[in-house]
């Protein structure tokens, strides 16, 4: 029996401005660009907090969006959230709420995602920390910026990169290796 070489992966860049992306890559043809099958923003809803409006992840809408995607995905990769040392308690709570909502929806849908810290997947795919440069790196790896044409679409690009990381490291013991270099992926021009 021949091993399956085409992998479909779902990546989720969490946050109230986060996104998801479903990609497909043929691991037997790693010199070819992966394909973005679908991409979208995480659904949010407005809530009143004291005298101001805030946004939070809409769990029901997230379930409706992810349910048909999970049927198609071989692997799901979610960026691991953590609070920065100088983050406000309000922002930390928002991050925790977002992570908990995404985890609850994925668990309800029977999915056990791979969670990876930003430093690990960005180092592996040679993705700069700068959001604009990360979007450029995604455009280089995916052969264009059709799915993230605006500067504000950087989360869509990062979701696609998370999916690519998940697809390339699926079934490997060492998830920290530089998958971009070993896979013959194009490098971002300096």
Q: Per-residue pLDDT tens for 27-48?
A: 888 778 899 999 999 999 988 7
Question: Which CATH number fits the domain that encloses residue 51?
Answer: 3.30.420.10
Q: How far apart are CA 33 and CA 52, in angstroms?
A: 44
Burial 11-46 (b: 16+ CB within 10 A, else e): bbbbbbebbbbbbbbebeebeeebebbebebbbbee
Task: Give the number of other Cβ atoms within 10 Å of residue 146's Cβ.
Answer: 10
In a domain, 161, yes or no: yes
CB-facing half-sphere around the CA of 110: CA atoms within 13 A? 6
Q: Residue 146: give the domain boundaries.
A: 6-182
Specify if 189 maps to a domain. no
- pTM, rounded to two decimals: 0.86
Q: pLDDT at position 172, please?
A: 60
Average pLDDT, the chain: 86
Domain membership flag for residue 188: no
pLDDT in the model for residue 181: 41
Is position 109 within any domain?
A: yes
Band (pLDDT 50/70/90 cuts) for residue 186 is: very low
Quick check: is 190 in a domain?
no
- Which pLDDT score, from 0 to 100, does residue 171 have? 65
Span 6-23, average pLDDT = 94
| DSSP code at position 153 | G
Coil, strand, or helix at residue 162?
Answer: helix
pLDDT tens digits, one per residue of 110-143: 999 999 999 999 999 999 999 999 999 999 999 9
Taking the C-alpha atoms of residue 64 and residue 145, their distance in angstroms, rounded to an integer, is 26
Whether 105 is covered by a domain: the verdict is yes
The per-residue pLDDT for range 74-115, each reduced to its tens digit, is 999 999 987 777 888 878 888 888 999 999 999 999 999 999
Q: Tell me what the mean pLDDT of segment 169-173 comes to.
A: 69
Determine the pLDDT at residue 163.
97
Q: How many domains does the chain have?
A: 1
Answer yes or no: are the C-beta atoms of 20 and 157 closer than 8 Å: no
Give the whole-angstrom CA distance, residue 127 versus residue 118: 10
Residue 187 lies in a domain: no
Report CA torsion sign: 91, 92, 97, 99. Answer: positive
């Amino acid at each position: 029996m021949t091993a399956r070489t085409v992998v479909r992966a779902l990546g989720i860049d969490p946050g109230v401005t986060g996104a998801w992306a479903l990609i497909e890559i043929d691991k037997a043809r790693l010199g070819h660009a992966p394909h973005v099958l679908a991409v979208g923003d995480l659904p949010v809803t407005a809530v009143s907090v004291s005298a101001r409006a805030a946004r939070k992840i809409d769990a029901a809408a997230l379930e409706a969006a992810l349910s048909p995607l999970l049927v198609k995905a071989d692997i799901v990769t979610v960026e691991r959230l953590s609070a920065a040392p100088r983050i406000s308690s309000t922002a930390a709570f928002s991050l925790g709420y977002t992570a908990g909502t995404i985890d609850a929806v994925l668990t309800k849908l029977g999915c056990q995602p791979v969670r990876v810290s930003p430093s690990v997947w960005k180092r592996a795919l040679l993705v700069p920390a700068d959001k604009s440069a990360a979007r450029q790196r995604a455009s280089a790896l995916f052969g264009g910026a059709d799915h993230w044409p605006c500067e504000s679409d950087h989360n869509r690009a990062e979701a696609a990169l998370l999916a690519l990381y998940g697809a390339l490291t699926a079934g490997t013991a060492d998830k920290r290796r530089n998958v971009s270099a070993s896979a013959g992926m194009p490098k971002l021009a300096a």
